[in-house]
Amino acid sequence: MNIVLFEKSEVAVPLPRTDHRAEHILRVLRRSAGDDFDVGMINGPRGKATLRATTPSHLELGFAWAKPHAAPACTALAVGFPRPQTARDILRDATSLGATELSFVRTHRSDANYAKSSLWQNNEWRRHLITGAAQAFDTFVPPTNWHQSLAESLTAWQSTGHQLIALDVYGDHPHLGSWTLPRAAQSCALLIGPERGWDAADRIVLKAAGVTWFNLGPRVLRTETAVVSGLTLINAARARSGK
């Protein structure tokens, strides 16, 4: 991790030695009493922590916070429900790339059993978000849901003025690398189908929502690869437009 992240409730209490962050501070960063290191408050500021003391049971830390920094540009991501290991990769990498909202949606070709995985039952999913933020030296962890259908997510994003972008390897669509964020829009949502692709019913829902279709070229990509490629191209378009 490139920054050690803490929940707001954790900064006023000692860090248990059994916590993986304590191991990282002592064994990876090799900090001892009096040393400092980079920290962040989840969805809050970055700063420095000083290791004040080490005991057999905990680390005593002091925190000094910097001024708040800007949140990432508003880029939502919807993915047709993938298998758990793929979802783990997406949770981590989409957060690293600055996605500000994640929605794992039910589609006609999604496997309903994936939503029953332990990933979604015991808060494991949140740990992958935090890992992604720490990798990016950021503190922002996107809100994440796995209860909505494709139509429900589209309706929510339409109501908030998101520019809707759907990826599809089939059909004569322009490459996402040619996309530019409309001047009037500040937010967008990238929609990527399930592992077996969009079916006819999904396409009807997407067309009714007024999505703009793009592709990532003629190659059929793994879902997690499409997520990384798509978000990278959106970030590049934002950089070109200054948004």
Q: Number of H helices and number of E strands within the chain?
A: 6, 11
Q: What is the pLDDT of residue 108?
A: 87
Cα(94)–Cα(110) distance, rounded to whole angstroms?
A: 20
Q: What does the buried/exposed string (b/e) look like for 179-216 if buried means 16 or more CB atoms within 10 Å of the residue's CB?
A: bebeeeeebbbbbbbbbebbeeebbebbeebebebbbb
What residue ranges of the chain are covered by domains with CATH 2.40.240.20? 4-65
Cα(166)–Cα(154) distance, rounded to whole angstroms?
A: 11
Domain with residues 4-65, CATH architecture: Beta Barrel (2.40)
- DSSP character string of 209-228: HTPEEEBS-SSPPPHHHHHH
CATH topology classification for 75-241:
Alpha/beta knot (3.40.1280)
Q: What is the pLDDT of residue 240?
A: 86
Q: What is the pLDDT of residue 243?
A: 61
Q: What is the pLDDT of residue 184?
A: 62
pLDDT tens-digit profile, the chain (243 residues)? 899 999 999 999 999 999 999 999 999 999 999 999 999 999 999 999 999 999 999 999 999 999 988 888 999 999 999 999 999 999 999 999 999 999 999 998 888 899 899 999 888 999 999 999 999 999 999 999 999 999 999 999 999 889 999 999 988 999 999 998 877 668 999 999 998 899 999 999 999 999 999 999 999 999 999 999 999 999 999 998 876
What residue ranges of the chain are covered by domains with CATH 3.40.1280.10? 75-241
